[in-house]
Every structure is written in C-alpha cells, then in structure tokens.
Amino acid sequence: MDATGMLHLLAAEPTLLPPAPADADGGAIEDRRRENHACLRCGAPADTALIADLGQHGKRWLDLCFKHFNDVRREA
C-alpha cells in the first residue's frame, strides 16, 4: 500500500499531519515514538511513529496506536 492508500484507510488529511524532518533516521523515529502523541485514527496514546513521503506535501508523521498500526499493516 502506498502512502495515499494508507491515508485513505486512516481517513487522514495530509496537510494536517505534522511535518517530519527530511533527513529523519531510525533515531528520530524512536524519539518521536517516545514523545506523547495521539493516534491519528482514534486519539489514544500512540505507540508507533511512521513517516509517509507524501510527494507535494513532503514527509509527514503518522502516529498510531498498536491497534491502528496493525490494521494498516494487515491492509498493506
């Protein structure tokens, strides 16, 4: 599944997602995961952090709880 499909599945508007650093690496992703963010889909505390490259919108953070992260993985 591409980033557009993932956002459609999550019912997310790309321009409302927080921008991710262009040079983010595994350390930046782990730091983001440890911060206090809400799941993009349900608002519960996020357990995972992903970066989606959304072309014209740039790279954006996707913060998800385990349930919604697994839902996205199953659909991929």
pLDDT at 5: 61
Question: Where exactly are the structural domains of the chain?
Answer: 3-75
**Cβ within 8 Å of residue 35, ≥6 positions away:** none
Return d(Cα 58, Cα 8) in angstroms, integer.
17
pLDDT tens column, 11-39: 667 788 899 999 999 999 999 999 999 99
Nearest C-alpha neighbor of 61 from the set 76, 43, 46: 46
The two beta strands, 59-64 and 48-53, are: antiparallel
Return d(Cα 22, Cα 44) in angstroms, integer.
27
Question: pLDDT band for position 3 (50/70/90)?
Answer: low
